[in-house]
Amino acid sequence: MSGNEEAFARARAVIPGGVSSPVRAFGAVGGAPRFVTRAEGPYVYDVDDRQYVDLVGSWGPALLGHARPEVVEAVRVAATKGLSFGAPTVAEVELAELVRDRVPLAERVRFVSTGTEACMTAVRLARGATGRDVIVKFAGCYHGHSDALLAAAGSGVATAGLPGSAGVPAAAAAQTLVVPYNDPDALREVFAARGDEMAAVITEPAAANMGVVPPEPGFNLLLRELTRDSGALLIYDEVLTGFRVSRSGWWGLEQGQVAPDLFTFGKVVGGGMPLAALGGRADLMDLLAPVGPVYQAGTLSGNPLATAAGIATLRLADQGVYERVDAAAQTLGTHVSAALAAAGVPHRLQRAGSLFSVFWGTDGPVRDYATAQRQRTEAYTAFFHAMLDAGVALPPSAYEAWFVSATHDADVLDRVVEALPAAAAAAARVLA
């Protein structure tokens, strides 16, 4: 038994499925997950001290690479001053200012601990602000695991083959309308039927939890138009894209063409620590307690260690970092596509800024969750394990984006590229 198998058996005896978050369990690809002991730059190491080139990046936060010394030092210094105060800090103000500098529409920022909390709070705020209950979300978009937002979600849920989740009250799910992504007609229809009941539309402005599915031209603008006309709010969930695909997230890549009312952020903004945020128009944000009637709170919200990691990360994430990450994603995607083509694997590689993913056994455009599900994930399973055996850790599901960091330089990428032909051949054998 390998160290990972031993650890997995031990974990399953005390933790459901052996993991603290479902997709980590390798359910979609089989086998024992790698139990990580440490990570540095572009690498993670498992309990057997095997090194892997990491293309998971903690599912997004590791923009600068793992354990960037300046970030670790900022957290260390913060830790020497106390781990949690339950009182405001000037560091929180500084982080909020850094967020607002990058996304000026985030006139006010409230810190929470997870993306789930940020999205849940955005929904409550939208309901409080509009006096309406209905929320619209898109099939295949993921906004965390709160009741209202766990209908037809992507990634983890799609991978487990479940339509939603047990334990979500029918009454809560009934207030959420699920619409296909990139479908202007369906959107117009739902607005015509229920527009006056809608509190908000929440969207991933570039979807990356059903594989990477960028918005078609004009789709986000249409969302803005319809929400504005019906008095509903528009929430841009940038938990994944925020401060990753550009210094101002997807909103920045769109050059501010669309003006959402609220944003949610997570992952990069906490630099790998548990921190997320909600931001938006001052008049809306000031409806949050203690100023307004919409309640939200958190013992560990704005935690000083997490805040220190966030500040250090955003300060270091300069134009050079985004250029390196963009270039690494471009190079890697090109090599992956070429290797799959050479092995005769039909596939579709889609990009949204520096995020990309591959759809397997299909080569037509993937524009929504239904088309994403036409892929043949068994090809990915073979590819994934061949890469893992060669020392490259990919996300353990075909429905996830691949994450690179500023430390994925040419030498690191060469290691990935060397492993591609054998993995592509393994995928081809499955599809033959």
Ligand X SMILES: Cc1ncc(COP(=O)(O)O)c(C=O)c1O
How many CA atoms does the CB half-sphere of 273 hold within 13 Å? 29
Shortest distance in whole angstroms from residue 106 CB to ligand X: 16
- Of these, 92, 147, 183, 237, which contacts ligand X (CB under 6 A)? 237
Nearer to ligand X, 114 or 227 (CB): 114
Contact 397, 155 (CB under 8 A): yes
Candidates 10-18, 46-54, 75-83, 115-123 — which segment interacts with ligand X by CB under 6 A? Answer: 115-123
Residues 6+ apart with CB under 8 A from 16: none
Candidates 233-241, 359-367, 387-395, 417-425 — which segment interacts with ligand X by CB under 6 A? Answer: 233-241
Candidates 69-77, 114-122, 172-180, 381-389 — which segment interacts with ligand X by CB under 6 A? Answer: 114-122
Shortest distance in whole angstroms from residue 306 CB to ligand X: 12
Contact 48, 36 (CB under 8 A): no
Distances (CA, A) of 405 to 63, 167, 231, 385, 402: 5, 37, 40, 22, 10
Q: Does position 242 bind ligand X by CB under 6 A?
A: no
Rounded Cα–Cα distance for residues 207 and 182 (Å): 10
Quote the Cα angle for 208-210-214, to 5°.
45
- Among 46, 147, 237, 368, the active-site one is 237
Candidates 46-54, 88-96, 136-144, 325-333 — which segment interacts with ligand X by CB under 6 A? Answer: 136-144
Residues in the chain: 432
Q: Does position 280 bind ligand X by CB under 6 A?
A: no
380 is catalytic: no
Q: Quick count: other Cβ atoms within 10 Å of Cβ 270?
A: 25
Q: Does position 276 bind ligand X by CB under 6 A?
A: yes
- Of these, 23, 106, 119, 428, which contacts ligand X (CB under 6 A)? 119
Rounded Cα–Cα distance for residues 412 and 66 (Å): 14
Shortest distance in whole angstroms from residue 1 CB to ligand X: 31
- Among 52, 267, 322, 399, the active-site one is 267
What's 31's DSSP letter? S
Candidates 65-73, 111-119, 213-221, 376-384 — which segment interacts with ligand X by CB under 6 A? Answer: 111-119
142 is catalytic: yes
Rounded Cα–Cα distance for residues 425 and 304 (Å): 48
Size of the site for ligand X (CB under 6 A): 15
Q: Does position 239 bind ligand X by CB under 6 A?
A: yes
Shortest distance in whole angstroms from residue 421 CB to ligand X: 31
- Of these, 65, 144, 252, 302, which contacts ligand X (CB under 6 A)? 144
Rounded Cα–Cα distance for residues 351 and 174 (Å): 33
Nearer to ligand X, 63 or 119 (CB): 119
Stretch 170-229 residues interacting with ligand X (CB under 6 A): 204, 209
Nearer to ligand X, 209 or 377 (CB): 209
Closest residue to ligand X, based on beta-carbon distance? 115
32-35: long-range contacts, CB 8 A cutoff, minimum separation 24: 32/2, 32/4, 32/5, 32/7, 32/8, 33/4, 33/8, 33/396, 34/4, 34/388, 34/393, 35/3, 35/4, 35/7, 35/8, 35/11
Q: Which of 181, 205, 158, 213 is nearest to 349 (CA)?
A: 213
Tell me which residues touch ligand X (CB under 6 A): 59, 114-116, 119, 142-144, 204, 209, 237, 239-240, 266, 276
Q: Which residues are catalytic?
A: 142, 237, 267
